[in-house]
Amino acid sequence: MSTLEIHDLHVSVETKEGPKPILRGVDLTIRSGETHAIMGPNGSGKSTLAYSLAGHPKYQITSGTVTLDGEDVLEMSVDDRARAGMFLAMQYPVEVPGVSVSNFLRTAKTAIDGQAPPLRTWVKDVRSAMDQLRMDPAFAERSVNEGFSGGEKKRHEILQMELLKPKFAILDETDSGLDVDALRVVSEGVNRVKASGEVGVLLITHYTRILRYITPDFVHVFVDGRIAEEGGPELAERLENEGYDRFIGAATSL
């Protein structure tokens, strides 16, 4: 059982006008086997939370703590965070020309585990995971994300998650740009990882449609860099019916 604890996290981003506060005191605890959905309107700080946890240099932690099993995450480099068990599926996966998917995956697995996976079992695992995600085996020899459609990029993100087996997976709007079939396939991949009970999932989304396939244990509403309300799956249903207007009005009046 692993625990990711975020306490009173404040984050700013550098702009032309100077530092701009984005997160204004976030408290969140995620444990192995739990799925936490982060929902909220545009600009509420959802992606800032994701990239701050991953160690993106654009975001400055001004106060607060993040620990993984008691270890200070904020003192770790980006690669150390990955080795500690943190994984980020990006909203906009980048292209890496000249690096094949197969080489990328095996290099990442070797870096995280400290040793190369046995080639025979690794090839079998990769093929099995690609098959379940309905990815053409030819993708393994293509450059990472180069020329991939939006859905193919998102499937590749979930492929990485399945093979790297993190302790905590942060999925930043993985449903963005997916058609119904791709959404179902990607959701099935997340659910396979969840089924082990060993992975905590932080699922960031605007909409409830992915929550029809991935049932969250907890739902947190982000507004103006804070958690405005928390609940179970029923809160997502309420947001589907009512939207975010009541939260935005309350934030404006503060």
CATH number for the domain harbouring residue 245: 3.40.50.300
Looking at every residue in the chain, the average pLDDT score rounds to: 92
pTM above 0.85, yes or no: yes
**Cα-to-chain-centroid distance, residue 50:** 7
What is the model's pLDDT at position 14? 86
What is the model's pLDDT at position 177? 82
What is the model's pLDDT at position 83? 94
Position 249 pLDDT exceeds 80: no
What does the pLDDT look like over 232-248, one tens digit per residue? 999 998 888 888 887 77
Provide the number of structural domains found in the chain.
1
Q: Which residue range forms the structural domain that includes residue 228? A: 3-96+166-249
Q: What is the mean pLDDT of residues 7-13?
A: 96
Residue for token digits 């991953």?
Answer: 54
CB 100, CB 141: distance < 8 Å = yes
What does the pLDDT look like over 142-175, one tens digit per residue? 999 999 998 899 999 999 999 999 999 999 998 8
Residue 199 lies in a domain: yes
Position 252 pLDDT exceeds 80: no
Q: How many CA atoms lie within 13 A of 4 on its CB side?
A: 27
For the chain, give the percent of residues with pLDDT over 90.
78
Of the listed ranges 22-31, 87-96, 141-150, 241-250, the least confidently predicted one is 241-250
Residue 189 lies in a domain: yes
What is the model's pLDDT at position 253? 45
Q: How far apart are CA 105 and CA 164, in angstroms?
A: 8
**Strand ranges inside 48-178, DSSP E:** 59-68, 71-72, 86-89, 96-100, 143-144, 168-172
Residue 109 lies in a domain: no
